[in-house]
Amino acid sequence: MSETKVSFDLVISGAGMVGLALAAALAPTGLRILLLEQQALEQSSALDALPSDRFDVRVSALTKASSQLLDFLGAWSVIEGLRAAAYTDMHVWDGMGRGEIHFSADELHEPCLGHIVENRIIHAALLQVVQQYAQIEIIQGVGLSALSAPDAAGGRQITLTNNDVIHTPLLIGADGALSKTRQLSGIGATEWDYGHHALVTTLISEQSHQNTCWQVFTEDGPLALLPLASSSPHYLSLVWSTSPTHARSLQALSAEALGQAITQAVGQRLGDIRVVDQVTALNLRQRHAHQYVDTGLALIGDAAHTIHPLAGQGVNLGFLDVASLADVLTQAHQAGESLSSLTVLRRFQRQRRAENIKMAATMEVFRRLFGHRPAPIRLLRSLGMKGLDQLAPVKNHLVAMAMGTKGNLPPLCRAPVRVF
């Protein structure tokens, strides 16, 4: 028999990076928040003695906007105390031509372009922040099994996999690309397979990574080498997006042979490269929910949208969702508006859906442009990259937008105004 629990002001399904960030952002409002997570959560204490030669193969390239949000939440100091790699430069080139672009923080008068941080570290830091708030409860090992239609007040009744029943004015789906929240809500999504698998692992390079992100567009797909720590200048994270057939053939290689293949793919720019961890392949699909909100319900992060990782924007879009939704809900709560209200929730959708679609479309254009193209297109592509590299104002504007220092940013992601 099911047990009816006390109602919560807000339920967040999914205690990953995005779900935890939203809980932390809303905690100052005093709302009673429930976080549901099907997996066991790794405590931050488990990371206190991180080995210097072992890294999580899943990493995120955090923009300035994301690090600003994490700083506001109180998580950034924890992340920096554990491990974060600031990168100052980016080298992007066409492996099938001669085009190349170099982005530099010096040209923007910034200390860095962003940070590469292991996902487990981001997650642990956010969990540590969330656990400081008494009004936030976390239930592990459970998920959603049923979701009611909105009641007269717009709230939702949720049935959990342990048969508990919970009532809440608002359910937030932050439960990933295969979101159970999205499925139970009946919200459809447009999706297709990119025809790519992303190979991820940890590497050691003969030469220093120079606090630089390296990305080459190969014939099979983009390959990125990301610096993992300034104190360990030879450790890199690999993200190689390639065809499923090529991915399987690469995975079948010995560690030594795969290292040689990576060395050749990047033109030996960092000398010999060695593979020092297990190689994981991730299937890449594009998804976008037809709508982000319904009465008493909202979707954020991968539950609402997933894109190709070639520009590393996935989690950054999720954090922008968090900042936007937290701002909308905080203002609504202070004004005495119902959190269930579709009018309130559509404010968030208007702010984020068009922006996310624009980013997804941009990534699709780049993916297609740098795919296997006829020789004339490859020539024009290389000439375009060379030309853009010479147009400093245009190039720097583009990288500033990608960094999250310009554009339509939610308040929590904006850097403080400098006072001189």
The answer on pLDDT for 43 being more than 50 is: yes
Write the CA distances from 296 to 31, 80, 158, 258, 288, integer angstroms: 15, 37, 11, 49, 20
Enclosing H/E stretch for 383 = helix 375-390
The answer on pLDDT for 419 being more than 50 is: no
Percent of the chain residues topping a pLDDT of 90: 64
* Helix 119-130 / helix 17-26 crossing angle, nearest 10 deg: 30
pLDDT of residue 401: 61
pLDDT of residue 374: 45
pLDDT of residue 366: 55
d(CA 344, CA 383): 47
Which residue's entry shows tokens 């994270």?
237
Write the CA distances from 379 to 94, 103, 215, 366, 383, integer angstroms: 10, 22, 19, 15, 6
Burial class (CB in 10 A: 0-12, 13-18, 19+), 152: exposed
pLDDT of residue 381: 56
Q: What does the buried/exposed string (b/e) look like for 305-325 if buried means 16 or more CB atoms within 10 Å of the residue's CB? A: bbbbbbbbbbbbbbbbbbbbb
- Name the CATH architecture for the domain at 10-85+113-191+285-371: 3-Layer(bba) Sandwich (3.50)
193: left (phi over 0), alpha (psi -120 to 50) or beta: beta
pLDDT band at 231 (very low <50, low <70, confident <90, very high): confident
pLDDT band at 173 (very low <50, low <70, confident <90, very high): very high
The answer on pLDDT for 172 being more than 90 is: yes
Percent of the chain residues topping a pLDDT of 70: 82
Mean of all residue pLDDT scores within the chain: 86
Range 224-236 average pLDDT? 89
The answer on pLDDT for 364 being more than 70 is: no
CB 172 within 8 A of CB 22: yes
CB 34 within 8 A of CB 139: yes
Q: Is the dihedral of CA 247, 253, 259, 265 positive or negative?
A: negative
Looking at 93-107, 186-200, 361-375, which range is the least confident one? 361-375
The answer on pLDDT for 353 being more than 50 is: yes
pLDDT of residue 343: 97
pLDDT tens column, 402-417: 666 667 789 999 877 5
The answer on pLDDT for 345 being more than 60 is: yes
pLDDT of residue 324: 97
pLDDT of residue 92: 87
pLDDT of residue 387: 59
Range 143-169 average pLDDT? 95
pLDDT tens column, 72-85: 999 999 999 889 99
Q: Which DSSP symbol is given to 39?
A: S
47 against 104, higher pLDDT = 104
The answer on pLDDT for 166 being more than 80 is: yes
388 against 409, higher pLDDT = 409
pLDDT of residue 1: 41
The answer on pLDDT for 330 being more than 50 is: yes
pLDDT of residue 230: 73
115 against 396, higher pLDDT = 115
pLDDT tens column, 275-317: 999 999 988 888 899 999 999 999 999 999 988 765 557 799 9
Nearest to 194 by CA among 279, 283, 281, 280: 283
CB 295 within 8 A of CB 231: no
Domain residues of the chain, as ranges? Answer: 10-85+113-191+285-371
